[in-house]
Amino acid sequence: MPNATLNYLARMDEKPVYYLVPPPPGTPWRNTRGDRRDLPIQDARALDPQPSLDTLGFQLAPLQTAAEDLYDAEEVHRVYYREVESLVKRVTGASRVFAFDHNVRSSEFAGRGERGAQNPVWFPHNDYTEDSSPQRVRDLLPAEEAEALLQHRFAVVNVWKPIRGPVQKDPLAICDARTIQPTHFVPTDLRYQDRIGEIYSLTFSEEHRWFYYPTMQVEEALLLKCFDSARDRARLTAHTAFEDDSSAPDAPDRESIEVRTLAFFAANT
């Protein structure tokens, strides 16, 4: 079981803000302070029963892709999105799934400004909030259709998968949704060029239990519950990259892709 230093958000009076584009002159890229905590990261493969989206807020599933290059945005949209939609539909029982966004991550490529890659994210967070989740539906779909869909259960599910395997460096840790209280989440602004998004940053609690899947392979995908309008199951969790102290010094950089999806359910679900 590796130990890791997780960079939680320190409590603050103002709303946390991160700029993802150059901020106005004299404005810092972020106004946050970290709260570093050394914690064990447990092996989720050893759990029995295995975690599910509706219990712990995450779930491992097989996923083979016909896409030849997951750094090729056009191919990802054309081929991989459809595969991810099918996976989320099968795992969740949703009647409709819509993949709408993705990121590729590699420290090596990001450092060279290549292949559209970004660096891993090094603080515990959840990609959507109680407010930004329904707003994303409204942003992406026609107004009348969006309002009709929001009358029933919907969820935001991320699908995270290695591009190269096995993952030996900077894996993804996920927090057991049952150990997170609503008060541990802090709404946080992400400032883009043309819009303001909102995520949850996570503040520390001794209740939190963190897990990961060692040496994830390219045929494996990790589904993460970022929001669920249903209140009788796991609704939100948190995730972060972490430095695995068991990784070999020469382990290759992690390369991964994450796709965000909206899952809509029938009225009686």
- Mean pLDDT over 84-107 rounds to 97
- Contacts for 176 with CB less than 8 Å, ≥ 6 apart: 51, 56, 57, 208, 209, 210, 211, 237
- Over residues 164-187, the mean pLDDT reads 96
Q: Where are the domains of the chain?
A: 3-264
> Beta-carbon neighbour count of residue 11 at 10 Å?
10
Is the pLDDT assigned to residue 9 strictly greater than 90?
A: yes
Whether the per-residue pLDDT at 268 is higher than 90: the answer is: no
CA gap 258, 262 in Å, rounded: 14
Which residue, among 159, 205, 210, has the nearest Cα to 185 in the 3D structure? 205
In the chain the first and final C-alpha atoms are separated, in Å, by 38
pLDDT of residue 269: 62
- Please give the pLDDT value at position 262: 98
Sort residue 44 into left (φ over 0), alpha (ψ -120 to 50) or beta. Answer: alpha
* Position 172 pLDDT exceeds 90: yes
Q: What is the pLDDT of residues 61-81, one digit of tens each?
A: 999 999 999 999 999 999 999
**Per-chain mean pLDDT for the chain:** 96
pTM over the 0.85 mark: yes
Neighbour tally for 241: CB within 10 Å:
23
How big, in percent rounded to 5, are the helix, strand and coil portions of the chain?
20, 35, 45
DSSP string, 4-60: EEEEEEPP-SSPPEEESSPPSTT--SB---EEEEEEEEEEGGG-SSPP-TTTTSEEE
Q: What are the residue ranges of helices labelled H in the chain?
A: 73-75, 81-92, 107-112, 132-140, 143-149
Q: Are 162 and 255 in contact (CB under 8 A)?
A: yes
Strands 185-191 and 58-62 come out as unpaired
